[in-house]
């Protein structure tokens, strides 16, 4: 069989595996349990214990921070695993080894290995009248199995939703990392910050090291209490002498960070948005904890290389020019505020068309109210997701100042075409696409394949 035919066969097999995963309970309805996932990974030989884990939870910034941690570790010579979610275009993006998404061959080989054990536990669950393993539970198992098979020296694992009962929490993270915690998934995690923070703090394991971004006071209190109960050491950026300051630079920003074990000046971070400088500082502190118990600094030259080369697709990313098209995976009010700050600080646009779509469980009204002062018009569309809210329903509930033009275009590709036409009328016009990761992913595909021409 030729290499091209073999690749096609693996691609087909990978798509079949993906369809089998999609037949399970989706990510929007996670089950608050750990035992089924734990049962499978133990049957597989404790694949979740074959390497140390750095575990991340939070509301916004998890993926970018995880990718920065992974980039630093890989630049330092470690073989890395990276587990993030959701994906923009391909499922393979979620499981990476040494900085690259796994191949279809690797996905299929590991799926074949884990499938009999997944089905065994499915049968046990059904016999007890419980739901079989969900999409995310099985994906978590697949990720741990891939990392054990690689093998990796360390895995950087992003929690899906919550923390305490998130399926990734079967692993015992030696470092627990918290990005900013805000209100999101309130129907699942709780209606207030205190409740949400308590759920997310569940990733702190006994005698772990804990690193956190600056948090609201009630959140920080919860994290410090959880660290105390587990006899863990916690470091919150902005306390204990740690800090970060940054300034805009071409293609990114210059960040000066005082970490836990060293001071690092004028690091170029190749990501846009002041929040990414905060993410970089948290990532640096996490690696300092992992490698030297917060007592050993990192080689500044290697650190500079890691930050300069890190990518985080779909996060304040320019995917096209003439006119400019910026995509951002923000999907809650906290993310909207970061997006507004990033667009105004890092770009010089004078006419912005926002293409917006949302899932039904998001606070889309506050999101739009936050961004409305920074844009000239909004095109509401319906993202390519079975959890999407109809654009017309958003329009019916939306109340914005009359100077912001709001239109509805249900077809997201047509919405992008219309937005680009508006933006092309000004020398500094731009399109910003946000609100839904599936909409951001579609925009990236349209840009790469010029499907909006």
Give DSSP secondary structure letters for 366-415. HHHHHHGGG-SEEEE---SSTTBPPHHHHHHH----TTSEEEE-SSHHHH
Across the range 193-210, mean pLDDT stands at: 95
| pTM for this model (two decimals) | 0.94
CB atoms within 10 A of CB 293: 12
Q: Residue with structure tokens 């970490």? A: 259
Tokens 């499981």 belong to which residue?
A: 95
Taking only the tens place, the pLDDT of each residue in 144-182 is 999 999 999 999 999 998 899 999 999 999 999 999 998
Question: Across all residues in the chain, what is the average pLDDT?
Answer: 94
Q: How far apart are CA 439 and CA 170, in angstroms?
A: 31
Each residue's pLDDT tens digit, 284-321: 999 999 998 999 999 999 999 999 999 999 999 999 99
For residue 212, how many C-alpha atoms fall within 13 Å in the half-sphere facing its CB? 30
For 368-384, give one letter per residue: b (16+ CB within 10 A) or e: bbbbbebbbbbbbbbbe
Query: Per-residue confidence at 399, pLDDT binned at 50, 70, 90?
Result: confident
Per-residue pLDDT averaged across 242-268, rounded? 95
Give residue 187's pLDDT band: very low, low, confident or very high (50, 70, 90).
Answer: low
Q: Give tens-digit pLDDT for 82-118.
A: 999 999 999 999 999 999 999 999 999 999 999 999 9
pLDDT of residue 362: 87
pLDDT in the model for residue 28: 77
Confidence at 5, pLDDT banded by 50, 70, 90: confident
Q: pLDDT confidence of 331, banded at 50, 70, 90? A: confident
Question: What are the structural domains, with CATH classification, of the chain?
Answer: 3-309 (3.40.1190.10), 317-449 (3.90.190.20)
72 vs 196: CA distance, rounded Å: 29
**Residue ranges in 76-169 assigned as alpha helix (H):** 104-127, 135-149
Query: Between helices 35-43 and 135-149, what is the axis angle to 10°?
Result: 30
Residue 412 has pLDDT above 60, yes or no: yes
């Amino acid at each position: 069989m030729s290499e091209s035919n073999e690749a096609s066969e693996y691609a087909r097999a990978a798509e079949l595996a993906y369809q089998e995963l999609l037949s399970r309970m989706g990510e929007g309805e996670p089950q608050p349990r750990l035992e089924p996932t734990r049962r499978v990974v133990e049957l597989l030989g404790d694949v979740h214990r074959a390497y140390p884990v750095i575990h991340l939870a939070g509301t916004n910034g998890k993926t970018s921070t995880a990718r920065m941690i992974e980039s630093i570790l890989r630049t330092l010579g470690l073989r890395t695993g990276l587990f993030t979610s959701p994906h923009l275009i391909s499922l393979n993006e979620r499981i990476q080894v040494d900085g690259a998404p796994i191949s279809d061959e690797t996905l299929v080989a590991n799926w074949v290995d884990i499938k009999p054990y997944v089905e065994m536990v499915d049968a046990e669950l059904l016999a007890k009248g419980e739901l079989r393993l969900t999409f995310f539970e099985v994906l978590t198992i697949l990720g741990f199995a891939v990392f054990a098979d690689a093998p990796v020296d360390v895995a950087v694992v992003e929690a899906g939703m919550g923390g305490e009962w998130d399926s990734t929490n079967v692993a015992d993270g030696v470092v627990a990392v918290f990005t900013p915690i805000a209100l999101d998934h309130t129907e699942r995690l709780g209606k207030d910050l205190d409740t949400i923070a308590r759920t997310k703090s569940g990733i702190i394991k006994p005698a772990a090291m804990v690193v956190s971004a600056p948090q609201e006071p009630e959140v920080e209190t919860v994290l410090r209490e959880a660290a105390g109960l587990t006899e863990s050491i916690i470091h919150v950026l902005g306390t204990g002498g740690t800090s970060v300051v940054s300034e805009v630079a071409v293609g990114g920003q210059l960040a000066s960070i005082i970490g836990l074990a060293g001071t690092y000046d004028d690091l170029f971070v190749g990501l846009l948005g002041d929040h990414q400088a905060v993410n970089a500082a948290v990532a640096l502190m996490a690696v300092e904890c992992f490698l030297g118990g917060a007592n050993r600094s990192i080689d500044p030259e290697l650190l500079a290389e890691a930050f300069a080369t890190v990518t985080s697709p779909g996060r304040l990313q320019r995917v096209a020019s003439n006119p400019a098209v910026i995509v951002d995976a923000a999907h809650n009010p906290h993310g909207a505020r970061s997006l507004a700050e990033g667009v105004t600080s890092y770009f010089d646009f004078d006419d912005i068309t926002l293409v917006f779509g949302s899932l039904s469980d998001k606070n889309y009204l506050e999101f739009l109210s936050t961004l409305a002062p920074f844009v000239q018009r909004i095109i509401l569309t319906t993202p390519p997701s079975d959890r999407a809210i109809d654009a017309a329903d958003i329009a019916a509930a939306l109340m914005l100042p009359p100077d912001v033009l709001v239109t509805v275009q249900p077809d997201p590709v047509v919405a992008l075409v219309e937005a680009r036409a508006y933006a092309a009328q000004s020398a500094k016009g731009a399109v910003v696409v946000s609100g839904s990761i599936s909409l951001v992913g579609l925009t990236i595909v349209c840009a790469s394949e010029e499907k909006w021409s």
